[in-house]
A and B are shown apart, each in its own frame.
Chain A
Amino acid sequence: MLNIAKDALKMGLVLLVICVIAAGALAYVYSVTQVIIDKNELEAEKKKRQDVLTAAVRFEEKDVEGKKYVTGYDTENKIVGSIYKTAPKGYSGPIKITVGVAPDNSVTAVVITKLDQTETPGLGTNVTKPKFLGQFKGKKGNELKLKKDSGTIDAITAATISSRAVSNGIKNGWEQYIKDMGEKK
């Protein structure tokens, strides 16, 4: 009886020691890497803003109707456009899209990085390519839909679901943006 208790105590102690060492090691690694991870994400975010509004030199965040919009200003402090984000459901998960809109409400540029999506490699991932995303430039409203859905955007061959998710996501986000901005004005 005593032996069983002694064994159990020993097992518990060994497990405890190992867990404490493991937890300590992890806490240290976390504190070092988390700083770098946060920095990387911030830089990626900055780069995306710059990519959709190339003329902007200064960005300002503001909340409209509980949603976050970013407005970009140029060197003369004139508004060059706003940015909205949307994340429609793609073929295998949400696709995070960053869209820039000019003051005349047309789309300036759309950015989806490789990190923003989890589509099928070689097929759905082509939505991140400029060949597809470049089509949205200068368009607004129903033009933002696929040709198959009576819009003006060419879908990617064999990746209609991903293409449609992106174009509908951009269009719905655009309508929401116009509505939110209209209410504010």
Chain B
Amino acid sequence: MNRWQVFTNGILKENPVLILVIGLCPTLAVSGSANDAFGMGLAATFVLIASNILISAVRKWTPDQIRIPIFIIIISTFVTIVDYTMHAADPVLYANLGVFVPLIVVNCIILGRAEAFAYKNDVFSSILDGIGMGIGFTLTVTTLGAVREIIGNGTVTLLNYELLNLGEGFKPALIFILPPGAFLVMGFLMAFNRLLIKRKG
């Protein structure tokens, strides 16, 4: 597998949410608006890249039997850093994401990549893998959030700017910003992703 493949793997072919179907808990819970979803994506991407780097860097000194506790310590350290920083930088986003920021610690995508990739590969490849998987996750949750927000609330907000507003006349289908909407939209996204992969051969 060359470097380019390592990088693109996470976006389409091994997209963590749509193909590996891991990390669903934050995906479904915080994708009620594009803004929250994007914030969650960025936070998880940062943790993913940083923990991939560190785990890959210390893999030679890590005794095999205690690798999981070491992964968890490294991951939770970065998650706590993100938690503090987000609380200081953007209190509204912090309040919206709520408990799902600390829960990044147990996000299967991050632990999964640590175990399946970073622990067995060099630092550079691990960075690429982290960025690729991070982009895959961020793209997926943000799309999910944007679709749910348009149908369910008539708006799209990103980075706290309102990009689209269908106005007062639009009657939103509330179910889309409630939990069942997440499952509905995700099903369609999954089908769409399979179609893209099939087309590419």
Which residues of A line the B interface, CB within 8 A?
7, 10-11, 14-15, 18-19, 22, 25-26, 29-30, 33-34, 36-37, 40-41, 44, 114-115, 118, 120-123, 158
Contact = CB atoms under 8 A, between A and B. Distances in A.
Nearest to B77: A22
Interface in B60-101: 61-63, 65-66, 69-70, 73-74, 76-77, 80-81, 84-85, 87-89, 91-92, 95-96, 98
A122 B153 contact: yes
Contacts of B76: 22
A122 B88 contact: no
A29 B174 contact: no
B41 interface: no
29 contacts: A7-B63, A11-B65, A11-B66, A14-B61, A14-B63, A14-B70, A15-B66, A15-B69, A15-B70, A18-B74, A22-B73, A26-B80, A29-B84, A33-B84, A36-B88, A36-B89, A37-B87, A37-B88, A37-B91, A40-B91, A44-B91, A115-B95, A120-B178, A121-B32, A121-B33, A121-B153, A121-B177, A122-B172, A122-B177
Given A15-B66, A33-B85, A118 B153 contact: no
B63 A11 contact: yes
Contact of A115 (B81, B85, B91): B91
Most buried by A among B81, B172, B177: B81
Contacts of B95: 114-115, 118
Nearest to A158: B174
Given A11-B63, A120-B178, A29 B81 contact: yes
Contacts of A15: 66, 69-70, 73
The interface residues of chain A, by DSSP majority, are classed as helix
B182 to A, nearest CB: 12
Nearest to A10: B63
B87 A33 contact: yes
B84 A30 contact: yes
A37 B86 CA distance: 10
Nearest to A115: B95
Contacts of B178: 120
B84 A22 contact: no
Instruction: Sort A-B residue pairs by CB-CB distance and give the 7 closest, nearest first.
Output: A36-B88, A33-B84, A22-B77, A33-B88, A115-B95, A122-B177, A121-B32
Contact of A25 (B81, B88, B177): B81
Interface string B11-24: 00000000000000
Nearest to B152: A122
Contacts of B87: 33, 37
Given A25-B77, A122-B174, A158-B174, A115 B92 contact: yes
A86 B98 CA distance: 21
Contacts of B152: 122
A22 B174 contact: no
Nearest to B179: A120
B84 to A, nearest CB: 4
Contact of A19 (B73, B80, B85, B96): B73
Contacts of B70: 14-15, 18
A59 B178 CA distance: 41
A25 to B, nearest CB: 6
Contacts of B153: 121-122
A122 B151 CA distance: 12
B110 to A, nearest CB: 16
Nearest to B92: A114
